[in-house]
């Protein structure tokens, strides 16, 4: 039981010895109001070129709910005054680039990832699309049908629908209540002329920001954009009225039925916008509650009580007031109990606060997440663009992390008590067809270097790439296996084995494994596929040795306890049932069976209900002993660590791994070719 005796300030030095990398971005505002931001990073000959338009679904004014911003995301690459529709994508492909876009509540972002030699072309293409799109009527008709299919897919997706239901229930006045894609009935009333009017009104220089990160010359990018847009004057942006959400004065609950076998449950409380001083503490609170296998909700609701197959928490803080939410997937009959335990777990933090080690861990997770976003040029550009767009502070990420380090245990308890109150709580759920009637009846009844290859004496192969740009290290141990190692009688065994590898070793329980890695802001996970299975681990560089020792312990001494096997079988069987209600997955499985016939590729990655139900602990141990051996493994280590250190540590920690043999040298039977 937690008590207030644990409340004390957690010093920043105890949380992390790592600081956020300095921001060296350059910024220019052109005479017509267009903003140019460039972050030079010459560590690799690539760049990300992004155009941020300050318009999203909440800015659609009299056409609110029509999805105008999303339509333009689809249409802007369909032709300009000088480029026909099919030449825009081709121009990007010709320089080895990749083009895409996304729409959110408050922005539409277009980006091209490209080799260094293609930066000039990428800037030219994006500037042309922003300023000169013609929105060809024939292309508009085509994209209308594409978007209608997108609507239809969303209507069949329980995860998307529970999110929309949550926002529609939590917000009654603010446009966040409406999906970014729009409302189908409103969308169907739009005309091409209205879309063109919206484009001309919102896609103006003084509402655009170009962000470029990578191996570029900032001044050259600045001069190129200045030349490209010099003939486009600034325009008056119509002031938009966005109604503020009134204070919620009582709990809201909406429970609906859906074509699903599992119940999706979502709880949300109103919290402030991104720049509010309470947000760092709220972000850490959500991490303590529901990020990782050592989080309170995961332990209590999934592992200890078995009331949910999955549970997590999140803090959504955009430019307007957001929500702190908790999502869970459970059996219909366990929904009430899961909801009650979730609220009890929240109440425990409100009453007794968090533990010092929980706060330190949450701070390290926050730092790792922010650092992880900078590992690609696209991530750097997105971070800078978001900083500027939401706060007009290019260094907001740094300042935010500084604020994170200053959060105390008292702060976490204070914001929990202030914001996670019943009056502002929204609870929604999607439940299987007929289950609500059954519930009613029941209730009534009651830096990048070359890859180095290292061979250890027992046959284990190491691949190491030293990269000092960020203080992070990623490790993955891969074993030949996957579906190729299975038969129709054992289908699903590799997936189940991979998941239970993390459920305990000879010296650590599953909780201790999670505690060990998450206490340093790291992550460990396992996976399986067609040809292999793997265990991956991410840590900061200062914790590499700890991470390597933990990974080695899992590989050498995983016990796969019977109780954990039984629990993960439940989760795997639930996943199989969930797949059976996803049309694309069903179609893919049918196609695999038709294409591969008697080959293992015809099998399903999770297996079938019959084969998984028959699996026992001894089956998993047998597969582990056969496949988790040195000659059947490759361990890759990429990040801020030396190859010599990697070799030295793994020679010590994995010296006792049995050599074994390389598995599945030839797949039998061969893949059909006709």
- Segment 98-115, tens digit of pLDDT: 999 999 999 999 999 999
CB burial readout 67-103, b (16+ within 10 A) else e = bbbbbbbbbbbbbbeebebeebeebbeebebebebeb
Per-residue confidence (pLDDT) for residue 586, from 0 to 100: 87
pLDDT band at 441 (very low <50, low <70, confident <90, very high): low
Q: Domain for residue 316, yes or no?
A: yes
pLDDT (tens digit, 9 = 90+) per residue, 45-65?
999 999 999 999 999 999 999
Residue with tokens 């976003």: 373
Looking at the predicted structure, is the pLDDT value of residue 674 above 90? Answer: no
* Cα 439 off chain centre by: 34
Angle at 159 between CA 377 and CA 156, to 5 degrees: 115
Can you tell me the distance from the alpha carbon of 542 to that of 438, in angstroms, rounded to the nearest whole number?
Answer: 54
Does the structure show a pLDDT above 50 at 3? no
Two structure tokens written together for 561: 């306890």
As a whole number of angstroms, the distance between CA 562 and CA 549 comes to: 24
Residues 260 and 188 in one domain: no
Please check whether residues 486 and 394 belong to one and the same domain.
no
Strands 532-540 and 472-480: antiparallel
Predicted pLDDT of residue 85: 82
pLDDT at 4 over 50: no
182 backbone φψ class: left, alpha, beta (φ>0; ψ -120 to 50): left
Name 4's Cβ contacts closer than 8 Å, sequence gap at least 6.
Answer: 352, 353
pLDDT (tens digit per residue) in 130-171: 999 999 999 999 999 999 999 999 999 999 999 999 999 999
**Average pLDDT score, the chain:** 92
**158: domain CATH number?**
3.30.830.10
Helix, strand, or coil (residue 672):
coil
Residues 6+ apart with CB under 8 A from 268: 166, 170, 323, 324, 325, 326, 425, 426
How many other β-carbons are positioned within 10 Å of the β-carbon of residue 438?
13
CB 448 within 8 A of CB 467: yes
Residues 251, 384 within the same domain: yes
Model confidence over 496-505: pLDDT tens digits?
Answer: 999 999 999 9
**Is 670 domain-assigned?**
no
Using the structure block, give the residue that is written with the tokens 């009959």.
333
| DSSP H or E run through 648 | helix 643-653
pLDDT reported for residue 445: 46
Give residue-wise pLDDT tens across range 485-530.
999 999 999 999 999 999 999 999 999 999 999 999 999 999 999 9
Distance of alpha carbon 362 from the chain centroid: 17
- Residues spanned by the domain of 489: 451-653
Q: What pLDDT does residue 86 have?
A: 83
Whether the predicted pLDDT of 642 surpasses 80: yes
Same domain for 66 and 155, yes or no, is yes
Q: Which of 442, 463, 489 is the last residue of a domain?
A: 442
Residue 157 and residue 86 share a domain: yes
Sole residue written with tokens 């600081």: 19
**Lowest mean per-residue pLDDT among 350-364, 575-589, 640-654:** 575-589
Retrieve residue 223's tokens. 């001069």
**Cβ atoms of 311 and 298 closer than 8 Å:** yes
Say if residue 278 is in the same domain as residue 386: yes
Say if CB 166 and CB 268 are below 8 A apart.
yes
**Cα 479 to Cα 226, 273, 476, 544, 634, distances in angstroms:** 53, 45, 10, 21, 7
**d(C-alpha 593, C-alpha 577), whole Å:** 18
Residues 421 and 276 in one domain: yes
* pLDDT, position 6: 28
pLDDT-derived band at 183, boundaries 50, 70, 90: very high
Q: Kindly tell me if the per-residue pLDDT of 625 is higher than 90.
A: yes
Check whether residue 599 and residue 491 sit in a common domain. Answer: yes
pLDDT at 436: 87
Q: 47, 377 in Cβ contact below 8 A?
A: yes
Cβ contact 389:52 at 8 Å: yes
Strand partners, 631: none
pLDDT tens-place string over residues 365-403 = 999 999 998 999 999 999 999 999 999 999 999 999 999
How many Cβ atoms from other residues are within 10 Å of residue 549's Cβ?
15
Closest CA relative to residue 641, chosen from 473, 432, 441: 473
Which token pair is 177?
A: 């209540």
The reply to whether 539 falls in a domain is yes
Q: Given this model, what pLDDT does residue 582 score?
A: 83
Tokens of residue 316, six digits: 């959504």
96 Rama class: left (phi>0) / alpha (psi -120 to 50) / beta: left
pLDDT of 412 strictly over 90: yes
Same domain, 616 and 476: yes
| Letter string b/e over residues 149-185, b meaning 16 or more CB atoms within 10 A of that residue's CB | eebeebeebbeebbbbbbbbbbbeebbbbbbbbbbbe
Report the percent of the chain where pLDDT is more than 70.
Answer: 94
Boundary of a domain, candidates 393, 420, 442:
442
In terms of domains, do 322 and 384 share one?
yes
Q: Are residues 259 and 171 in the same domain?
A: no
Could you tell me if residue 6 is inside a domain? no
Q: Is residue 5 part of a domain?
A: no
User: If you search the block for the tokens 């691949």, which residue do you land on?
Assistant: 463
**At residue 200, does pLDDT exceed 60?**
yes
pLDDT score for 58: 97
User: What is the share, in percent, of the chain residues with pLDDT greater than 90?
Assistant: 85
Q: Would residue 238 count as lying in a domain?
A: no
Number of domains in the chain: 3
Which among 229, 263, 292 is the end of a domain?
Answer: 229
Residue 270: strand pairing partners:
323
Residue 495 has, within 13 A of its CA and on its CB side, a CA count of 22
- Inside any domain, residue 674: no
Q: Identify the helix (H) or strand (E) that includes residue 85.
A: helix 85-94
* Domain match, 56 and 148 both: yes
Could you tell me the pLDDT band of residue 5, with boundaries at 50, 70 and 90? very low
pLDDT interval class at 605 (50, 70, 90): confident
Of 287, 405, 361, 368, nearest to 11 by C-alpha is 405
The answer for residues whose C-beta is within 8 angstroms of residue 273's C-beta and 6 or more apart is 279, 317, 318, 319, 320, 321, 322
Instruction: Identify whether 17 is part of a domain.
Output: no
């Amino acid at each position: 039981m937690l008590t207030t005796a644990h409340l004390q300030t957690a010093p920043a030095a105890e949380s992390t010895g790592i600081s956020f990398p300095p921001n060296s971005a350059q910024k220019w505002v052109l005479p017509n109001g267009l903003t140019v931001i460039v972050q030079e990073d010459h560590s690799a000959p690539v760049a990300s070129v992004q155009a941020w338009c300050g318009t999203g679904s909440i800015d659609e004014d009299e056409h609110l709910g029509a999805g105008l911003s999303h339509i333009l995301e689809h249409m802007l690459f369909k032709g300009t005054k000088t480029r026909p529709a099919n030449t825009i994508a081709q121009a990007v492909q010709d320089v080895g680039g990749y083009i895409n876009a996304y729409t959110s509540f408050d922005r539409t972002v277009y980006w091209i990832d490209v080799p260094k030699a293609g930066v000039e072309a990428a800037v030219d293409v994006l500037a042309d699309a922003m300023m000169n799109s013609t929105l060809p009527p024939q292309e508009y008709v085509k994209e209308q049908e594409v978007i209608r299919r997108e609507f239809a897919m969303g209507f069949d997706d329980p995860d998307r629908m529970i999110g929309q239901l949550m926002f529609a229930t939590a917000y009654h006045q603010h446009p966040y209540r409406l999906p970014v894609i729009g409302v189908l009935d409103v969308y169907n009333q739009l005309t091409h002329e209205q879309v063109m009017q919206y484009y001309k009104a919102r896609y103006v220089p003084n509402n655009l920001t170009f962000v470029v990160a990578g191996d570029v010359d900032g001044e050259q990018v600045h001069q190129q954009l200045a030349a490209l847009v010099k003939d486009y004057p600034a325009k008056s942006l119509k002031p938009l009225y966005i109604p503020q959400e009134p204070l919620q004065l009582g709990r809201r609950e909406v429970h609906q039925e859906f074509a699903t076998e599992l119940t999706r449950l979502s709880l949300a409380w109103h919290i402030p916008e991104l720049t509010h001083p309470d947000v760092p503490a709220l972000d850490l609170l959500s991490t303590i509650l529901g990020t990782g296998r050592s989080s309170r909700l995961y332990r209590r609701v999934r592992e200890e009580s078995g009331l949910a197959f999955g549970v997590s928490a999140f803090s959504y803080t955009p430019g307007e007031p957001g929500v702190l939410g908790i999502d869970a997937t459970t059996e219909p009959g366990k929904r009430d109990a899961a909801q009650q335990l979730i609220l009890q777990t929240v109440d425990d933090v409100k009453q007794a606060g968090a533990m010092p080690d929980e706060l330190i861990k949450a701070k390290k997770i926050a730092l790792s997440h922010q650092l992880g976003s900078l590992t690609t040029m696209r991530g750097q550009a997105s971070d800078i663009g978001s900083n500027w767009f939401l706060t007009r502070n290019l260094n907001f990420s740094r300042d935010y992390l500084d604020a994170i380090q200053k959060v105390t245990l008292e702060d976490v308890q204070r914001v929990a008590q202030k914001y996670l109150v019943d009056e502002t709580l929204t609870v929604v759920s999607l439940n299987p067809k007929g289950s609500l009637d059954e519930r009613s009846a029941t209730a009534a009844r009651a830096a990048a270097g070359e890859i180095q290859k290292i061979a250890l004496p027992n046959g284990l192969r190491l691949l190491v790439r030293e990269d000092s740009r960020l203080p992070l290290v990623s490790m993955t141990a891969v074993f030949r296996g996957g579906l190729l190692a299975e038969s129709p009688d054992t289908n699903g065994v590799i997936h189940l084995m991979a998941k239970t590898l993390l459920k305990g070793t000879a010296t650590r329980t599953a909780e201790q494994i999670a505690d060990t890695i998450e206490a340093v802001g790291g992550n460990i996970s396992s996976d399986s596929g067609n040809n292999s299975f793997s265990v991956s681990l991410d840590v900061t560089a200062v914790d590499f040795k700890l991470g390597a020792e933990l990974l080695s312990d899992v590989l050498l001494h995983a016990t796969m306890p019977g109780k954990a096997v039984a629990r993960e079988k439940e989760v795997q069987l639930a996943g199989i049932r969930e797949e059976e209600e996803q049309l694309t997955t069903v179609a893919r499985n049918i196609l695999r069976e038709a294409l591969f016939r008697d080959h293992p590729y015809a099998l399903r990655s999770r297996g079938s209900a019959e084969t998984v139900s028959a699996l026992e602990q001894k089956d998993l141990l047998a597969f582990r002993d056969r496949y988790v051996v040195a000659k059947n493994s490759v361990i890759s280590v990429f990040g801020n660590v030396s190859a010599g250190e990697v070799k030295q540590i793994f020679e010590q920690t994995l010296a006792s791994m049995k050599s074994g043999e390389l598995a599945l040298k030839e797949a039998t039977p061969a893949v059909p070719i006709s």
